[in-house]
Copies of this chain bind each other. A is one copy, B any other.
Amino acid sequence: MASREYGQFCGLARAMEMVGERWTMLIIRNLLTGAQRFTDLHKGLPTIPTNILSARLKQLEEAGLATRRALPHPDRAVVYELTDYGRDLEPALIALGRWGARTLTEPRPGEIVTAESIAMSFRTTYRPEAARGVTVGYEVRMGDFTLRLQITDGELAVGIGPHPSPGLIIERLTGYPIRELMSGSKTPGEVLRDGSVRTEGDPALLGRFSEMFRF
């Protein structure tokens, strides 16, 4: 059930037939952080109509990009999860997100920042060449939510929620210190000194952080 076809024998056309409809890419972005329930997805995409979310999930399942799975007994819930095939879209989402981030200065009126959009920004700004052979875990506390970054031998995995054993906890206190670190407009020393950030753990890991995540 390829939604609407382009009539061209072309990989890009095929891709756009499968994931080019409105909302689909953002749903995949959110599922990249792990399995999510219908309600979780709706929380992360508050303005999507539920019937559209429902329809997109069905399409993703039919196209083999995601699976729908009923959790075992205690909490009888349904979770949606990307298949390997769906997860293979990550490089494309990163490339798109990186391009789109160029016009990302201030949130527009009414725009929200979700845990998943921040998770995405970690993926798009991650520089593997600055993380060669590195293994370290970060917990990033943003007030409304907490993210975990695990870099294992230079491979990044981003998740939502606390980190079980972080090498460094980075806690945002005021302003946008994380973005300032990533853009290079402030140094690790500066954000520590001006009180916009508080850390717990080895402070040297903040310097490494600002090298590995760069716009």
Contact = CB atoms under 8 A, between A and B. Distances in A.
A8 B26 contact: yes
Interface stretch (A35-43, A93-101, A128-136, A184-192): A93-101
A89 B97 contact: no
A25 interface: yes
Given A104-B14, A117-B13, A8 B99 contact: no
Chain A, interface size: which category? 35 or more
A95 B100 contact: no
Nearest to A91: B95
A1 interface: no
Interface in A1-31: 4-16, 18, 20, 22-23, 25-26, 29
Interface of A is mostly: helix
A42 to B, nearest CB: 13
B16 A99 contact: no
Could you say how many copies of this chain the assembly holds? 2
Interface in A89-120: 89, 91-104, 107-108, 110-114, 116-117, 120
A94 B110 CA distance: 33
A172 to B, nearest CB: 15
Nearest to A111: B9
Nearest to A101: B11
A112 B7 contact: yes
Contacts of A124: 11-12
Contacts of A45: 8
Interface of A: 4-16, 18, 20, 22-23, 25-26, 29, 45-47, 85, 88-89, 91-104, 107-108, 110-114, 116-117, 120-121, 124
